[in-house]
Amino acid sequence: MKLITFALLILPTIFCEDENIQNDFLEWKNRFNKTYKNVEETEKAYKNFKFNKKIIDAGNEKFIKGEAYFHQSLNKFSDQLLHQRKRAMRGVATVTTGQSMMSGRSFGPPIKMTILKPGTFESAPLVWDWRRHNGVTPVKDQGYFCSGCWAFSGLGALESQYKKNYGKEYNFSEQQLIDCNRHEITGNWGCDGGNQASAYNYIGINGIELAETYPYKEELPHDDAYSCGFNSSRAVGQLSGYYRIRPGNETFLKEVVYYYGPVSFAFNGLLPTFAYYESGIYDDPNCVDGLSHSALIVGFGRVNIGGRIIDYWICKNSWSTDWGEDGYFKMVMGKNMCGLTRYLIAPKID
């Protein structure tokens, strides 16, 4: 009966479709509370679902054969194609007026930026996870419509510094950065993307409120949406500078993460294999350098798979806890996977 009802909701051309695919779509639709406005929208979602399921099934065949070390699954993005997913997956913006992402110039004198170089710290252990050492706050959800990963990643690192250093678990306001840190010089454009360096410079000058007093709205980007409601009397968070980590050296990055704390980073997050990641160690040779998404490195580990030793990064995403490993993903270490080492930054709060 469910199958007949579904078939009647969309165009008759799919009556001959595989019943298993149709049932999979119905189950997925109910699980993620998906609703569509009309028959045309339902059919489009179904076609996208079929297309994405083929990608997932092909990837999982490699996983079963031992040719891949990560598993994929249907998730909230499974009715979307790449151009539809870009709002959630493309949020890293470079500046447009000659300023570099290294500078992070904002509204006022820039705060101190220090470049961390190899030799700053001693060697790191093989395994470390800041989640087990009071250094990570809960996973958040940036939603579908706002390319605000730069704000979530950057503030995630700041929240970690407050938690590990002072035992304070703050939930800072991404919406404040999205609304108030917009300017052609900074390269931050709210829900159209931004970068953490200029966000840190803004916080160093102005401070940051909690999400409780300045809540996240997840609005589609348009000029009228960005009305800055910041009130300095409500600011709780502050920073005195930030660190840029010399790119290209993952051994040194381990040392920074271990001795200093979680590090915000940008990488290529546009591949379908990443969108549908469920578990395991992400390692896709097609994921080349190209900044599009931001996340937070919170640790690293090592595992033996079939006699092969694999080192990996533990990363916190901003796509809610129903994505990946409860909102986290592991990424292979030693390959600069997806350009992971190209843009690394951490806030300084003392």
- Annotated catalytic residues are 149, 293, 317
At a CB cut-off of 8 Å and minimum separation 6, what does 5 contact? none
CA 318 – CA 316 distance, rounded (Å): 7
Residues 155/178, Cβ–Cβ less than 8 Å: no
Q: How far is CA 260 from CA 164, 293, 296, 298, in A?
A: 10, 23, 13, 11
Q: How far is CA 292 from CA 94, 159, 176, 269, 315, in A?
A: 10, 23, 21, 6, 16
CA 245 – CA 131 distance, rounded (Å): 22
Tokens of 168: 């304070």
Tokens of 145: 């419509």
CA 253 – CA 189 distance, rounded (Å): 29
Q: Which of 286, 267, 217 lies closest to 91, judged by CA?
A: 267
| Cα atoms in the 13 Å half-sphere on the side-chain side of 162 | 18
Cα of 34 vs its chain's centroid, Å: 22
CA 13 – CA 7 distance, rounded (Å): 9
Q: Is 220 exposed, middle or buried (0-12, 13-18, 19+ CB in 10 A)?
A: exposed
Residues 224/254, Cβ–Cβ less than 8 Å: no
